[in-house]
Protein backbone atom coordinates (compact mmCIF):
# COMPACT_ATOMS: atom_id res chain seq x y z
CA UNK A 1 0.00 0.00 0.00
CA UNK A 2 1.38 3.40 -1.00
CA UNK A 3 2.01 6.05 1.70
CA UNK A 4 -0.66 8.73 2.12
CA UNK A 5 0.69 12.25 2.61
CA UNK A 6 -1.59 14.75 4.33
CA UNK A 7 -0.91 18.50 4.41
CA UNK A 8 -2.32 20.00 7.59
CA UNK A 9 -1.68 23.73 7.84
CA UNK A 10 2.03 24.08 8.64
CA UNK A 11 2.38 20.34 9.25
CA UNK A 12 2.87 17.31 7.03
CA UNK A 13 1.65 13.94 8.26
CA UNK A 14 2.45 10.70 6.45
CA UNK A 15 0.45 7.51 6.80
CA UNK A 16 2.43 4.36 6.04
CA UNK A 17 1.47 0.69 6.04
CA UNK A 18 4.21 -1.31 7.69
CA UNK A 19 5.12 -4.55 9.47
CA UNK A 20 5.10 -4.98 13.22
CA UNK A 21 8.88 -5.35 13.45
CA UNK A 22 9.38 -1.97 11.73
CA UNK A 23 6.77 -0.01 13.65
CA UNK A 24 9.09 1.50 16.26
CA UNK A 25 12.09 2.54 14.18
CA UNK A 26 13.29 6.04 14.99
CA UNK A 27 16.21 8.33 14.17
CA UNK A 28 15.43 10.62 17.10
CA UNK A 29 17.98 11.24 19.84
CA UNK A 30 15.64 9.74 22.43
CA UNK A 31 12.32 7.94 22.10
CA UNK A 32 9.60 7.11 24.59
CA UNK A 33 6.63 4.86 23.92
CA UNK A 34 3.26 5.66 25.48
CA UNK A 35 1.07 2.56 25.68
CA UNK A 36 -1.63 1.17 27.89
CA UNK A 37 -1.67 -2.02 29.91
CA UNK A 38 -3.03 -3.99 26.95
CA UNK A 39 -0.89 -2.58 24.13
CA UNK A 40 2.54 -2.34 25.75
CA UNK A 41 3.11 -5.99 24.76
CA UNK A 42 3.28 -4.88 21.13
CA UNK A 43 6.36 -2.73 21.82
CA UNK A 44 8.95 -5.24 20.57
CA UNK A 45 12.33 -4.80 18.91
CA UNK A 46 13.07 -1.49 20.64
CA UNK A 47 14.82 -0.38 23.82
CA UNK A 48 12.81 2.86 24.05
CA UNK A 49 11.49 3.76 27.48
CA UNK A 50 7.88 2.73 28.09
CA UNK A 51 5.26 4.89 29.78
CA UNK A 52 2.33 2.65 30.62
CA UNK A 53 -1.09 4.11 31.42
CA UNK A 54 -4.29 2.35 32.51
CA UNK A 55 -6.44 1.13 29.65
CA UNK A 56 -9.83 2.59 28.86
CA UNK A 57 -11.59 5.93 28.64
CA UNK A 58 -10.90 6.67 32.31
CA UNK A 59 -7.27 7.39 31.38
CA UNK A 60 -8.27 10.18 29.01
CA UNK A 61 -7.85 12.92 31.61
CA UNK A 62 -5.34 15.53 32.72
CA UNK A 63 -3.78 13.43 35.51
CA UNK A 64 -2.68 10.93 32.86
CA UNK A 65 -1.03 13.74 30.90
CA UNK A 66 0.97 14.60 34.02
CA UNK A 67 1.95 10.95 34.32
CA UNK A 68 3.22 10.93 30.72
CA UNK A 69 5.13 14.19 31.21
CA UNK A 70 6.74 12.80 34.37
CA UNK A 71 7.74 9.65 32.52
CA UNK A 72 9.19 11.62 29.62
CA UNK A 73 11.23 13.76 32.01
CA UNK A 74 12.54 10.68 33.80
CA UNK A 75 13.55 9.18 30.44
CA UNK A 76 15.44 12.36 29.51
CA UNK A 77 13.26 13.16 26.51
CA UNK A 78 14.23 16.51 24.99
CA UNK A 79 12.84 18.48 22.06
CA UNK A 80 15.01 16.55 19.62
CA UNK A 81 13.39 13.34 20.86
CA UNK A 82 10.19 11.64 19.80
CA UNK A 83 7.09 10.31 21.51
CA UNK A 84 5.41 7.22 20.06
CA UNK A 85 1.78 6.52 20.91
CA UNK A 86 0.98 2.81 20.74
CA UNK A 87 -2.64 1.89 21.25
CA UNK A 88 -6.24 2.64 20.41
CA UNK A 89 -8.03 5.94 20.22
CA UNK A 90 -7.52 6.87 23.87
CA UNK A 91 -3.76 6.32 23.72
CA UNK A 92 -3.42 8.11 20.37
CA UNK A 93 -5.41 11.11 21.60
CA UNK A 94 -3.64 11.48 24.92
CA UNK A 95 -0.11 10.69 23.67
CA UNK A 96 -0.44 13.30 20.92
CA UNK A 97 -1.84 15.82 23.40
CA UNK A 98 1.02 15.19 25.81
CA UNK A 99 3.53 15.55 22.96
CA UNK A 100 1.92 18.84 21.92
CA UNK A 101 2.40 20.42 25.37
CA UNK A 102 5.61 18.72 26.54
CA UNK A 103 8.38 21.33 26.22
CA UNK A 104 5.94 23.21 23.95
CA UNK A 105 5.93 20.36 21.49
CA UNK A 106 7.98 17.28 20.60
CA UNK A 107 7.46 15.19 17.45
CA UNK A 108 4.93 12.40 17.79
CA UNK A 109 4.51 9.14 15.86
CA UNK A 110 1.30 7.15 16.26
CA UNK A 111 1.06 3.37 15.94
CA UNK A 112 -2.68 2.66 16.22
CA UNK A 113 -3.63 -0.85 17.32
CA UNK A 114 -7.40 -0.71 16.70
CA UNK A 115 -9.36 -0.21 13.52
CA UNK A 116 -11.06 2.88 14.93
CA UNK A 117 -7.73 4.50 15.73
CA UNK A 118 -6.30 3.58 12.32
CA UNK A 119 -9.06 5.27 10.35
CA UNK A 120 -9.94 8.10 12.73
CA UNK A 121 -8.20 8.96 16.01
CA UNK A 122 -4.62 8.74 14.71
CA UNK A 123 -5.29 10.75 11.54
CA UNK A 124 -5.94 14.46 11.21
CA UNK A 125 -4.16 16.07 14.14
CA UNK A 126 -6.88 16.35 16.79
CA UNK A 127 -5.69 15.59 20.30
CA UNK A 128 -7.50 15.83 23.58
CA UNK A 129 -8.68 14.66 26.97
CA UNK A 130 -12.10 14.55 28.58
CA UNK A 131 -13.10 17.01 31.29
CA UNK A 132 -15.86 16.34 33.80
CA UNK A 133 -18.45 14.39 31.79
CA UNK A 134 -17.60 16.01 28.44
CA UNK A 135 -15.61 14.39 25.63
CA UNK A 136 -12.41 16.01 24.32
CA UNK A 137 -13.11 19.31 26.07
CA UNK A 138 -9.37 20.07 26.43
CA UNK A 139 -7.15 19.56 23.40
CA UNK A 140 -4.97 20.83 20.60
CA UNK A 141 -4.42 20.43 16.87
CA UNK A 142 -1.10 18.61 16.63
CA UNK A 143 -0.65 16.07 13.80
CA UNK A 144 1.60 13.05 14.10
CA UNK A 145 4.75 13.25 12.01
CA UNK A 146 3.93 9.74 10.91
CA UNK A 147 1.07 7.31 11.41
CA UNK A 148 2.16 3.69 11.08
CA UNK A 149 -0.59 1.24 10.17
CA UNK A 150 0.14 -2.37 11.12
CA UNK A 151 -2.81 -4.40 9.74
CA UNK A 152 -1.71 -7.58 11.54
CA UNK A 153 -2.74 -5.98 14.85
CA UNK A 154 -6.37 -6.41 13.76
CA UNK A 155 -6.16 -10.20 13.72
CA UNK A 156 -6.28 -10.36 17.52
CA UNK A 157 -8.60 -7.39 18.08
CA UNK A 158 -11.70 -8.32 20.11
CA UNK A 159 -14.84 -8.47 17.98
CA UNK A 160 -16.55 -5.54 19.69
CA UNK A 161 -13.53 -3.28 19.15
CA UNK A 162 -13.23 -4.35 15.52
CA UNK A 163 -16.86 -3.55 14.82
CA UNK A 164 -16.44 -0.24 16.65
CA UNK A 165 -13.88 0.78 14.05
CA UNK A 166 -16.16 -0.30 11.23
CA UNK A 167 -18.60 2.43 12.27
CA UNK A 168 -16.01 5.05 11.31
CA UNK A 169 -15.35 3.25 8.01
CA UNK A 170 -19.09 3.30 7.26
CA UNK A 171 -19.17 7.00 8.15
CA UNK A 172 -16.31 7.71 5.73
CA UNK A 173 -18.18 5.92 2.94
CA UNK A 174 -21.38 7.87 3.61
CA UNK A 175 -19.52 11.17 3.60
CA UNK A 176 -17.40 10.97 0.49
CA UNK A 177 -16.82 7.56 -1.08
CA UNK A 178 -19.57 5.82 -3.03
CA UNK A 179 -17.12 3.09 -4.09
CA UNK A 180 -16.27 2.29 -0.47
CA UNK A 181 -20.00 2.26 0.32
CA UNK A 182 -20.53 -0.33 -2.42
CA UNK A 183 -17.60 -2.42 -1.19
CA UNK A 184 -18.94 -2.45 2.36
CA UNK A 185 -22.33 -3.56 1.08
CA UNK A 186 -21.11 -6.22 -1.37
CA UNK A 187 -18.19 -7.63 0.63
CA UNK A 188 -19.64 -7.59 4.11
CA UNK A 189 -18.71 -11.21 4.79
CA UNK A 190 -15.08 -10.61 3.76
CA UNK A 191 -14.90 -7.50 5.92
CA UNK A 192 -16.29 -9.28 8.97
CA UNK A 193 -13.95 -12.22 8.33
CA UNK A 194 -11.06 -9.69 8.38
CA UNK A 195 -9.77 -10.75 4.97
CA UNK A 196 -6.37 -8.94 4.87
CA UNK A 197 -6.55 -7.46 1.37
CA UNK A 198 -10.07 -6.17 1.94
CA UNK A 199 -9.11 -4.68 5.30
CA UNK A 200 -6.13 -2.81 3.85
CA UNK A 201 -8.35 -1.47 1.08
CA UNK A 202 -11.12 -0.17 3.34
CA UNK A 203 -8.59 1.30 5.81
CA UNK A 204 -6.79 3.19 3.05
CA UNK A 205 -10.04 4.45 1.51
CA UNK A 206 -11.36 5.65 4.88
CA UNK A 207 -8.08 7.45 5.63
CA UNK A 208 -8.16 9.11 2.19
CA UNK A 209 -11.69 10.37 2.88
CA UNK A 210 -10.59 11.92 6.16
CA UNK A 211 -7.48 13.37 4.51
CA UNK A 212 -9.58 15.22 1.93
CA UNK A 213 -11.62 16.93 4.66
CA UNK A 214 -8.79 17.80 7.04
CA UNK A 215 -6.49 19.14 4.33
CA UNK A 216 -9.17 21.66 3.36
CA UNK A 217 -9.97 22.66 6.93
CA UNK A 218 -7.27 21.73 9.45
CA UNK A 219 -8.67 23.56 12.49
CA UNK A 220 -12.32 22.72 11.86
CA UNK A 221 -13.75 26.11 11.02
CA UNK A 222 -15.81 24.74 8.15
CA UNK A 223 -16.00 21.55 6.12
CA UNK A 224 -13.97 19.38 8.49
CA UNK A 225 -16.92 19.45 10.86
CA UNK A 226 -18.70 17.09 8.44
CA UNK A 227 -16.47 14.34 9.83
CA UNK A 228 -18.59 14.65 12.96
CA UNK A 229 -21.54 12.96 11.25
CA UNK A 230 -23.29 11.11 14.06
CA UNK A 231 -20.86 12.41 16.70
CA UNK A 232 -23.01 15.04 18.40
CA UNK A 233 -25.60 12.38 19.14
CA UNK A 234 -22.84 9.86 19.94
CA UNK A 235 -20.95 12.01 22.43
CA UNK A 236 -24.22 12.85 24.19
CA UNK A 237 -25.10 9.15 24.43
CA UNK A 238 -21.66 8.31 25.82
CA UNK A 239 -21.94 11.10 28.39
CA UNK A 240 -25.43 10.16 29.53
CA UNK A 241 -24.85 6.40 29.75
CA UNK A 242 -21.35 6.66 31.19
CA UNK A 243 -18.18 6.45 29.12
CA UNK A 244 -17.54 2.86 28.16
CA UNK A 245 -21.14 1.62 28.34
CA UNK A 246 -21.38 2.10 24.59
CA UNK A 247 -18.14 1.89 22.65
CA UNK A 248 -17.38 5.02 20.64
CA UNK A 249 -18.07 3.23 17.37
CA UNK A 250 -21.36 1.82 18.63
CA UNK A 251 -22.41 5.31 19.70
CA UNK A 252 -21.37 6.79 16.34
CA UNK A 253 -23.36 4.18 14.42
CA UNK A 254 -26.42 4.98 16.56
CA UNK A 255 -25.75 8.69 16.09
CA UNK A 256 -25.58 8.41 12.31
CA UNK A 257 -28.94 6.65 12.28
CA UNK A 258 -30.40 9.40 14.50
CA UNK A 259 -28.93 12.14 12.27
CA UNK A 260 -30.62 10.56 9.25
CA UNK A 261 -33.89 10.19 11.14
CA UNK A 262 -33.70 13.87 12.08
CA UNK A 263 -33.03 14.79 8.47
CA UNK A 264 -36.05 12.79 7.32
CA UNK A 265 -38.18 14.49 9.99
CA UNK A 266 -36.99 17.88 8.74
CA UNK A 267 -37.71 16.91 5.14
CA UNK A 268 -34.09 17.33 4.02
CA UNK A 269 -32.82 13.73 3.95
CA UNK A 270 -33.91 11.31 1.23
CA UNK A 271 -36.00 8.67 2.97
CA UNK A 272 -34.71 5.84 0.77
CA UNK A 273 -31.09 6.79 1.44
CA UNK A 274 -31.69 6.94 5.19
CA UNK A 275 -33.21 3.46 5.07
CA UNK A 276 -30.31 2.10 3.00
CA UNK A 277 -27.74 3.58 5.39
CA UNK A 278 -29.62 2.20 8.41
CA UNK A 279 -29.77 -1.22 6.77
CA UNK A 280 -25.99 -1.20 6.34
CA UNK A 281 -25.41 -0.06 9.93
CA UNK A 282 -27.62 -2.86 11.25
CA UNK A 283 -26.05 -5.41 8.87
CA UNK A 284 -22.73 -4.78 10.60
CA UNK A 285 -24.27 -5.54 13.97
CA UNK A 286 -24.95 -2.07 15.37
CA UNK A 287 -27.95 -0.96 17.41
CA UNK A 288 -29.97 1.93 15.98
CA UNK A 289 -32.15 2.45 19.05
CA UNK A 290 -31.30 3.13 22.67
CA UNK A 291 -33.36 3.23 25.85
CA UNK A 292 -32.29 6.68 27.06
CA UNK A 293 -34.08 9.76 28.32
CA UNK A 294 -34.37 12.14 25.31
CA UNK A 295 -34.09 15.23 27.51
CA UNK A 296 -30.81 14.03 29.00
CA UNK A 297 -29.41 13.51 25.50
CA UNK A 298 -30.57 16.97 24.46
CA UNK A 299 -28.96 18.50 27.56
CA UNK A 300 -25.65 16.73 26.92
CA UNK A 301 -25.70 17.68 23.24
CA UNK A 302 -26.09 21.34 24.22
CA UNK A 303 -22.50 21.25 25.56
CA UNK A 304 -21.15 20.17 22.16
CA UNK A 305 -18.26 22.22 20.75
CA UNK A 306 -19.84 22.52 17.29
CA UNK A 307 -21.80 25.70 17.93
CA UNK A 308 -22.56 28.73 15.81
CA UNK A 309 -24.36 31.77 17.20
CA UNK A 310 -24.84 29.86 20.43
CA UNK A 311 -26.66 26.93 18.80
CA UNK A 312 -25.40 23.40 18.28
CA UNK A 313 -24.95 22.53 14.62
CA UNK A 314 -25.79 18.93 13.80
CA UNK A 315 -24.21 17.23 10.80
CA UNK A 316 -26.95 16.01 8.46
CA UNK A 317 -27.10 14.53 4.97
CA UNK A 318 -29.38 14.97 2.01
CA UNK A 319 -28.06 11.83 0.32
CA UNK A 320 -24.88 9.79 -0.10
CA UNK A 321 -21.86 12.16 -0.23
CA UNK A 322 -24.15 15.20 0.24
CA UNK A 323 -23.59 16.61 3.73
CA UNK A 324 -24.37 19.88 5.52
CA UNK A 325 -24.79 21.26 9.04
CA UNK A 326 -27.88 22.70 10.65
CA UNK A 327 -29.41 23.38 14.05
CA UNK A 328 -32.33 21.13 15.01
CA UNK A 329 -35.24 22.39 17.06
CA UNK A 330 -35.72 20.74 20.43
CA UNK A 331 -39.15 19.33 19.60
CA UNK A 332 -37.74 17.56 16.55
CA UNK A 333 -34.84 16.17 18.58
CA UNK A 334 -37.19 14.95 21.28
CA UNK A 335 -39.42 13.21 18.74
CA UNK A 336 -36.49 11.50 17.03
CA UNK A 337 -34.88 10.43 20.29
CA UNK A 338 -38.19 9.07 21.57
CA UNK A 339 -38.40 6.57 18.70
CA UNK A 340 -37.34 3.02 19.57
pLDDT digits (tens, 9 = 90+) for 134-153: 888 999 999 999 999 999 99
pTM: 0.93
pLDDT in tens, 283-327: 999 999 999 999 999 999 988 766 666 789 999 999 999 999 999
pLDDT value at position 304?
74
**Coil, strand, or helix at residue 308?**
strand
The whole-angstrom distance between residue 128's C-alpha and the CA centroid of its chain comes to 12
Q: Is residue 188 one of the residues assigned to a domain? A: no
pLDDT value at position 243?
73
**Are 148 and 228 within one domain?**
no
**Are 117 and 253 within one domain?**
no
Number of H helices, E strands in the chain: 12, 13
**Are 127 and 233 within one domain?**
no
pLDDT value at position 57?
87
Number of structural domains found in the chain: 2
Q: Is residue 74 one of the residues assigned to a domain? A: yes
**Are 147 and 227 within one domain?**
no
**Are 245 and 144 within one domain?**
no
Q: Is residue 180 one of the residues assigned to a domain? A: no
**Are 242 and 131 within one domain?**
no
Q: Is residue 311 one of the residues assigned to a domain? A: yes
CATH number at residue 257: 1.20.1090.10
Q: Is residue 194 one of the residues assigned to a domain? A: no
pLDDT value at position 132?
87
pLDDT value at position 164?
95
pLDDT value at position 179?
98
Q: Is residue 136 one of the residues assigned to a domain? A: yes
Q: Is residue 216 one of the residues assigned to a domain? A: no
- What range defines the domain where residue 135 resides? 4-157
**Are 9 and 143 within one domain?**
yes
**Residue segments in the chain with a per-residue pLDDT below the cut of 70:** 305-309, 340
Residue after which a domain boundary falls, among 136, 157, 178: 157
**Are 259 and 332 within one domain?**
yes
Q: Is residue 28 one of the residues assigned to a domain? A: yes
**Are 148 and 230 within one domain?**
no
Residue after which a domain boundary falls, among 102, 125, 157: 157
**Are 279 and 152 within one domain?**
no
- Contact between residue 99 and residue 108 where contact means Cβ atoms under 8 Å apart: yes
User: 123 Cβ partners below 8 Å, 6+ apart?
Assistant: 6, 13, 15, 147, 207, 210, 211, 214
**Are 145 and 227 within one domain?**
no
Nearest to 162, CA basis, from 272, 98, 249, 230: 249
The whole-angstrom distance between residue 254's C-alpha and the CA centroid of its chain comes to 15
Amino acid sequence: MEPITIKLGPYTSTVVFTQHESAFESDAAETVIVADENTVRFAVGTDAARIVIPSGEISKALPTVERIVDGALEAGLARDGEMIGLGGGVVCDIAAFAASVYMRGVPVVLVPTTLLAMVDAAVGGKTGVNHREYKNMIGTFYPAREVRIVPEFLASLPEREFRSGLAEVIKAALLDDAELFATLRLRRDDVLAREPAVLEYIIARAIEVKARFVEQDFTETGRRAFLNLGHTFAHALESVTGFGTWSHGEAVAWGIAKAHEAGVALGVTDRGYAAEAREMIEAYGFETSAAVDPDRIIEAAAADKKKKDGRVRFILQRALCDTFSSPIETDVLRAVLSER
